[in-house]
A = this chain, B = another copy of it.
């Protein structure tokens, strides 16, 4: 079992506390995979062999447990966005980031909904993760817009909403597994400047690039 991440700014935990923390995170990961992000917390505590009070001591809200479980994945997503910012094609980079984010938001059933509401809930432990993803998307979006490949009126908040909505639609469509792969190109094309509009802009006296 790989070591679970330690909660922030913490002096060493007592051995039994540490063990319970790790067990809870590992058990929760399995439970979320099996039953979705709204799996029973009581059941997770039982399966981890821990009193329910112990779960709430370490993770006061469901979001805190979820944050501990997906923390590594959020970090990886953020690293990927840094890579994509350094690639050549701004539009392709944005689309690749959208695809990666949709995949991430589809890790567990119900995760997309949690991420969406965390975006607007400053108290949630997932809020900072959402804002980081939001900020990464904003950078990639800005670059694509400056190179005149994406409509200037689209903002990062709507980009985040669209991504989360596609992830949500995909997780709600059990019978067709590749829903996200089909919807993403459609949605991405809606963001792009239309051929004629882009041509008109580029035909203007002062060329931008």
Contact = CB atoms under 8 A, between A and B. Distances in A.
Interface stretch (A23-31, A45-53, A164-172): A164-172
A151 B189 CA distance: 11
Contact of A186 (B113, B182, B183, B191): B191
Contact of A161 (B161, B179, B185): B179
Q: What's the dominant secondary structure at chain A's contact region?
A: helix
A60 interface: no
A154 interface: yes
A202 interface: no
A187 interface: yes
Nearest to A174: B120
A186 B190 contact: yes
A116 interface: yes
Given A187-B187, A190-B189, A196-B196, A169 B173 contact: no
Given A151-B186, A195-B196, 10 more contacts: A116-B172, A116-B173, A120-B173, A162-B183, A162-B187, A165-B166, A165-B169, A187-B190, A194-B194, A195-B195
